[in-house]
Structure 1
Amino acid sequence: MAEITIRPVIKLSLRVRDPAAAKARIGAVTSQLERIFDSLRAGLVELSHRQAVALSGEVYRLVVERFEMNPGEPEDWEAWKGFHWAAMEGRLPNPPSITWQEIMNERLAALGAFGVSHGPILLDVIESLPPGDSEKSLEVRFGLLASWVLARHALEVTPSSRLKLLQQVAEASLDAGWAMKRASLGDYTPDPKANRFPPVFTQNTAPGINLTTLFEHWQRETKPAPATLATWKPVVLSFRAHVEDQLVARLTVKDIISWKDKLLDQGRSASNINGTYIACIHALLSHAKRNGHVVQNVAAGIGLKVKRVAGTGKLPYEDAEVAALLGLAQKQTHAARRWIPLLATCSGARAGELAQLWAERVRQIDGVFVMELRPAEDGGTFKNAGSERVVPLHHALIKAGFLDFVRAKGQGPLFYGRVTGRGERHASKGTVNHLAGWIRKQPGFDNPRKAPNHALRHWWKSTASRVGISDSRADHLQGHVGQGEAAGYRHFQDLKSLAEDIERIPIPAY
């Protein structure tokens, strides 16, 4: 953000030396100036209560995004909230101002203003001060933040609307302070207050929404897995910074291409750019199109050509490697190390699916011992709908004592210890990562082309083909979604015949 003086000729610095970067910023500056001129022509706006709350949500998100990774100490936020209360009640005429550019630790300021920086005594001191002109103290404390929000949306508002916005900004930043205090204590439970802000929608933003609001709308509607959310949040931040969070309806193909080129210059691989960065924005813009925010998805068809290079593809384990791994696993007392390699060898299932297995889902159906593979009851996720299936147990598992292990567990997760809380990264992810790390440390398992867990899945599919299991049945057992319309007509419900297929897989002696 740059401060400019409006005269017959407007001059400002783009604050970059690179010509390509300057060219990209010219478009953003021109767009912002057009919005400002539209606002000036429209005159002062009277904000509704809903609009004021929506706009204050940007302050909440600003604070949380800036501090959630490193929230500091609880006492920092006690001082922050103390100044908020004092300003909101007019008990401190000149509280420290907060700017959108920098939010500072205020413990020293609180010590100077109140004689104490944190704790219950701080509240007692503030309450002992007489109430005063809250309108003035709100402007001093939150005025720069309010101006930042209004500038983002090119809004000029009436004095009464500004006061309304200041009050909501105070409440929003107070909520953010509570959330960050909890985070500083190690509590990252999703804050229900984060969902109280409606989408920003004014005459100057209609008919579009910005990327921040689009991401929130997509998140509420699709309810993505925590792992997906963790992967996509930094992607959205990167794209927002590149296009300066402009309205989604104003994005162009050039915006996507220039961002793609920037990521490439940063050294990111073509597969990473295609599979994570552009895939994320493509999904968000598809969501925007479905909901009428854009006419077209400007990210469609954009990507880098990924050339497969000889010597880099993933490989399966050899029979001897499978035998060696199972031999190592047999000696382990750690449940995941002991059983998941053998389960994967006998079924071809993904390690992430097996790690979510609960004791209640290992049972007998129609005389066949099976495991029901589906997302864990405490919020687990699978790759796709076709991944949910019932797989017969190989006799090698029963012979090794897997059923005895399950019976001893009784109920609940077999391979992770705690039930995952709502919104958290699922506990089974840690199990899978632990197992992969353990395998990688074993002698002879350091080949980068053989993924520690997934090479077993490659081995199973190759072995299935070798022993004559049809591709369609192997796909079903492994949870691969069949291709083409014909795949939708195949149903594999005969567990006894599936058990016969499973038994055809020869488990290497270990």
Structure 2
Amino acid sequence: MAKLPERLMARSGTFYCRIWVPTDIAPIYGRQIVVRSLRTKDLKTAKSRLARKSVELENQFDEIRADQIAGDNLGVAALDISTIRARFRDIAREHAIAASDHEFSRRAALFCQATAAPARFWRGEFGPLPVPADFGHDEEDAYTYFDHLVAEGDLEKVIAFVTRFRLRKRIETLQSMRATGNLGEFVAIADKRVAGISRSDAIALGRLLLEDELTALRAIAEGQPDPSLGDLRAGNFRQTENPEAPSLGSSLPPAPTAKPISLDELFERWEAETDPSASTLSSWRGITRDLKSFVGDKADDITRIAAEDIVGWKDKLVKANKAAATISRGYLGCARALFRFAVANRLAASDPSQGIKVTRKMKAGKKMLGYSGEEVARLLNLASNASDPWKKWLPWLAAATGSRIGEVAQLHGSHVFEEEGYQVVKIMPASDAGSLKNAESERTVPIHPALLTAGFLAFVAEKGQGPLFYGRSSGDPKRKHASKGVANRLASWIRANGFSDPRKAPNHALRHWFKTEASRVGIPDSVADAIQGHTDSSSSGVYRHIGLALMASSLDKIELPPRRGAS
């Protein structure tokens, strides 16, 4: 059986929740470990029940601790000041243990909520999800990795990332409070714990509370043992019965002792477990081949690949004039994903790509641009006179919805229907193993009046319920979808007809134009984002839901074809 999550154990095929009782309440609870049956032999069900059982037990612990604190506070008046101060260290340690317990309780609650209601999790109802603004310039790789997890739709990995991200934000807040002397939160805790405490003593205790909570949370972030298992300050943590076993919760795997694993084998294992999209699989295979070519025979044993090799590979790509974003998000993003997978699965002791990034900034004159209104009008006129359906309708669909060509190229007739009195197009993965970029890409958009006038519905009725712009696809998610070929042919056709500006991607420049035109005619960014399937990065975006009526009235403002010279 694969390694089980923390606090989950199995006996005779049945799963159990196994939790250490916090040391501050263990004498009252009467035991050091609690084991509760989850009454299932199914691992997926056990994980869900584990989260609920963990929350239930943590709540019991909190109630016992609250009763104990209340009892302690009743007797404070009888204590002299030296006795009170002697307890500061114990109070701070108890607070750190409670902070540690709360962190794991919060994780369990989030996992339970997110797995029970994924749609609400994606909308941010269980707490805001990370957005680009949450990351500094030196953390672009972290957000790129998160964006990749979201695109792949791996819920458990996204939950794990969000959990680590929220813990990191709390640690940063504590560090800032320590640096500025902002102890208000902890002085308030000190006042509650020790009735009648003087201002100077409350500040002294508050400082200890902050320091011990920061130490406890850092230990969790770094994968060290749960401080509730032993003395936080002394590091006297309980070990498992096997003295050579790694500490509970350790994230540092031992050096691999099995036979060497090659880059090809690593890629195959990563592919089998993560089930990436066909486009990711195709591009990352090429990137892996490029890395193999650079490192030579080291590719036969991934543990021989060092950070210096990754730096040299990155430098080679820079010299080849690869775009910084392509190197960072594509090449280094692939390497990081593979080596992190190797570390997590005990195939390697470290990630040689960690911390390596491209610092080159984009030069003026290199940024990609959108079409002008005149260019869009010329392209739509060219499309209207084309005989092939993909040449005729795809540019119109992209201009009318701001969609990626790959999204509309995989449309089926069944994706076009009436809803709430509007003729709409449902942008979703094609049933024959199509895919979209991320969760926000799936959406329902009203059909622009210009498309209705041009006869788009009659075309759809003639084609039937199946694919509109390709014959058939293999249905194999590991292979490129047939719509990808259509999108590539369209780009070549547009280039061949005079749209040759290298800074204007033949297909994607329509998406840029739509965003610009929407702003010009006064469509709010939130509405344009909903139409285009862009992520709304504002903190309120997770609560905002744009209806068809608002989308339709906004699309009416966009003139198609645009007047010559417009926008």
Q: Quote the offset at 1:465 in angstroms.
A: 0.8
**Distance across 1 between alignment mates of 2:256 and 2:500:** 57
Q: Quote the offset at 1:413 in angstroms.
A: 0.6
Q: What are the superposed Cα offsets for residues 260-290 of structure 1, whole Å, 9 maximum, x if unpaired?
A: 2344455655444333221211111232344
Q: What are the superposed Cα offsets for residues 427-446 of structure 1, whole Å, 9 maximum, x if unpaired?
A: 11111111111111113x11
Residue aligned with 2:517, SS = helix
> Quick one: which amino acid aligns to residue 299 of structure 1?
S
1:233–1:419 distance in 2 versus 1, CA, 3 Å: closer
Aligned residue for 1:341?
A: 395
1:487 aligns with 2:544: no
Residue aligned with 1:299, SS = coil
**Distance across 1 between alignment mates of 2:256 and 2:460:** 61
> What is the correspondence of 1:45-84 to structure 2 with a 5 Å cutoff?
none
Confirm or deny: 8 A CA contact 1:214 1:284 kept in the other structure.
yes
1:394 aligns with 2:410: no
> What is the correspondence of 1:200-349 to structure 2 with a 5 Å cutoff?
205-206=257-258, 209-241=261-293, 242=295, 244-265=298-319, 268-294=322-348, 296-349=350-403
> Quick one: which amino acid aligns to residue 427 of structure 1?
A
> Quick one: which amino acid aligns to residue 435 of structure 1?
L
> What is the correspondence of 1:378-389 to structure 2 with a 5 Å cutoff?
378-389=432-443
> What is the correspondence of 1:462-501 to structure 2 with a 5 Å cutoff?
462-492=516-546, 494-501=547-554
**Distance across 2 between alignment mates of 1:299 and 1:488:** 33
Q: Quote the offset at 1:471 in angstroms.
A: 1.1
Aligned residue for 2:461?
A: 407
**Distance across 2 between alignment mates of 1:270 and 1:204:** 33
1:267–1:316 distance in 2 versus 1, CA, 3 Å: closer
Residue aligned with 2:397, SS = helix
Structure 1: runs of 5 or more not aligned: 1-202
Structure 2: runs of 5 or more not aligned: 1-254
Aligned residue for 1:440?
A: 495
**Distance across 2 between alignment mates of 1:432 and 1:272:** 20
Q: Quote the offset at 1:466 in angstroms.
A: 1.2
Confirm or deny: 8 A CA contact 1:357 1:413 kept in the other structure.
yes
**Distance across 1 between alignment mates of 2:395 and 2:257:** 54
Confirm or deny: 8 A CA contact 1:207 1:293 kept in the other structure.
no
Q: What are the superposed Cα offsets for residues 239-261 of structure 1, whole Å, 9 maximum, x if unpaired?
A: 23406125445543222112223
**Distance across 2 between alignment mates of 1:387 and 1:472:** 14
Q: Count how many residue pairs are aligned between Structure 1 and Structure 2.
A: 306
Q: Quote the offset at 1:491 in angstroms.
A: 2.3
**Distance across 2 between alignment mates of 1:462 and 1:270:** 25
Q: Quote the offset at 1:398 in angstroms.
A: 0.5
> What is the correspondence of 1:426-437 to structure 2 with a 5 Å cutoff?
426-437=481-492
> Quick one: which amino acid aligns to residue 483 of structure 2?
S
Q: What are the superposed Cα offsets for residues 129-148 of structure 1, whole Å, 9 maximum, x if unpaired?
A: xxxxxxxxxxxxxxxxxxxx
Give the root-mean-square deviation of aligned CA atoms: 2.3
Taking structure 1 as the reference length, the TM-score comes to 0.56
Confirm or deny: 8 A CA contact 1:359 1:407 kept in the other structure.
yes
**Distance across 2 between alignment mates of 1:214 and 1:238:** 15
> Quick one: which amino acid aligns to residue 218 of structure 1?
W
1:309–1:261 distance in 2 versus 1, CA, 3 Å: closer
**Distance across 2 between alignment mates of 1:502 and 1:294:** 53
1:214–1:509 distance in 2 versus 1, CA, 3 Å: same
**Distance across 1 between alignment mates of 2:458 and 2:269:** 47
Confirm or deny: 8 A CA contact 2:373 2:563 kept in the other structure.
no
Residue aligned with 2:540, SS = helix
**Distance across 1 between alignment mates of 2:484 and 2:338:** 25
Equivalent of 1:504 in 557, 560, 565:
557
Q: Quote the offset at 1:305 in angstroms.
A: 2.0
Aligned residue for 1:147?
A: none
**Distance across 2 between alignment mates of 1:204 and 1:475:** 47
